[in-house]
Structure 1
Amino acid sequence: MLFSRRPTEDDTVVAMLASAIRRDISFGTLRPDEKLKIEALRQRYGGSNHSMRETLRMLVSEGMVEATNQRGFRVTSATEDDLADILLMRLEVEKLALTRAMVQGGVDWEASVVASHHQMMRAEDQVREDPNDVSALEWDEACRTHMLSLIAACNSPRLIDMAGRFYDQSRRFRLARLREGRIAFEARRTRHETLKTAIMDRDTQRALALLEEDIRADLRG
C-alpha cells in the first residue's frame, strides 16, 4: 500500500517561491528565455539553494521554466508558435472537461459557477476602473478560479490540473493584452453572461462554442 508523505516546511517555502516567480513570469518581469541563476534568484526571492532548485523544477513541470543542457534554467519562450500551441491545448482540455462537467454537475456545481462568475465580474470592474498590477493579478486569478469552477464537476483531478497548468502558461499573453488595452471587456461580459445561461440550461453545444470563443478572444482578440 502506498502512503503520501506529510507536507514539510520546505514544501511551504517552495510553494511561496513558486508563486512569486510564477507571478513575475506572468507579468513579464522575468522575460521569455531569460536565464535563471540560482544565486541571483535567492537574493531576489529568498530561500536556500535546495528550495530554489526545487522551485525551478516545479515550474519546469508546469511549463513556465525550461531546464537547459548545461543544467541551468531559463524562462520558457513566448513566441507566436508557443501561443498557438497553448491555445490548442487550452481548447482541447477545457472543452473536454466542460463536456464532462455538463453531464455530471449538479446544483452545487451550478451554484459555484454562478458565484465564481460574480467574483470575476467584480474583479473585472475593478481592473477597468483602476488598471494596475494588483488589480490585474486579482482579475486574472478570478478568471482562473472561474475557469476551474466551470470544469470542477468533470470528476477528473488530472484533467483539472492540466487545465490549470495550460491556463498558467497562457497568462503572459492575456496579461500583455490587458496592459496594451486589447481586452474587449463589454463583449467579454456579454459572452460570459451567455455562457452562464447556456450552462444553467445544460445547452452543451452552445456552452462549448462560447467557451472556445472566449479562450480565443482572450489570447488572440
Structure 2
Amino acid sequence: LGDIFWLLYPPLKITNIPEVQIFEQPKQRGMRFRYRVEGRSAGSIPGEKSSENNRTYPSIQILNYCGKGKVRVSLVSKSEPYKPHPHDLVGKDCKDGIYETEFGPDRRVIAFQNLGIQCVRRREVKDSIVQRITRGINPFNVPREQLLQTEEYDLNVVRLCIQVYLQDENGQYTRALMPIVTNPIYDNRSPNTAELRICRVNRNTGSVKGEDEIFLLCDKVQKGTVPPVYS
C-alpha cells in the first residue's frame, strides 16, 4: 500500500537553487515602437495589469536567494531559437540597446519602469546584429551564421530576455542563472499586430428577426484577415 500511495501522491520537489521567475508580464499590445529619427520618447513598456489609474510594469522575482546581483535585459526574437533582436531598449540604465543594473538583498521584486523600445529600419538590421555579436549579447548562444540571416527577423514583435548574475565568493557577478523570456510584445503601428479597435458603429440595437445591416468602422485592419464574430 505504501508503494501505491507514493505513486499516486509523489512528494513535492523542493529545491534551494536560485531561479528567476516572471512576476508580471509586459502588456502585449497597445505600445508603439519608435524610430530614433522621430526624436520623441519611446515611452515605457507597461505591465499586463496596467490601467489608467494604476500603472504597472514588467517585473521579475528571484527565488531562493538573498544578496546582491546584476540584471540584464535585452530584446530577442519571438520564435525559438531566441536570437538577439536588432531593436534597442532605451531609457535609464540602457546602453547600446541593453539595460543593466545592480540590485541589493532587499529587492524581492525587480520592476523595469523606464524601458522603451526603439526600432531600426530593415536596412539597419545587419549593423545592429553585428553590434550585438561584438558585445557578446547572445543569451541563448545561437550560432553566428543564424544571427546574420537578417531577412528572418520580424521587426513588428519582440520579447524581453532577462539574465541575472549573482555574486560569487569574490564579489564578482559570475553566477549566471538560466535566462528567461517574456510573452511577445507587438508593435501597435503594424496592421498585422496592432490592437484592434472599433472606431464607429452605425447602430447598437436591432430586430429579434435579424437581417439588420450593421457597419463597423475599424482602424488598422487588413481586408480579409479579421472575420467578425458576434456573441
TM exceeds 0.5? no
- TM-score normalised by the chain length of structure 1: 0.24
| Between structures 1 and 2, the one with greater helix share | 1
Bigger Rg over Cα: 2
* TM-score (ref. length: structure 2): 0.23
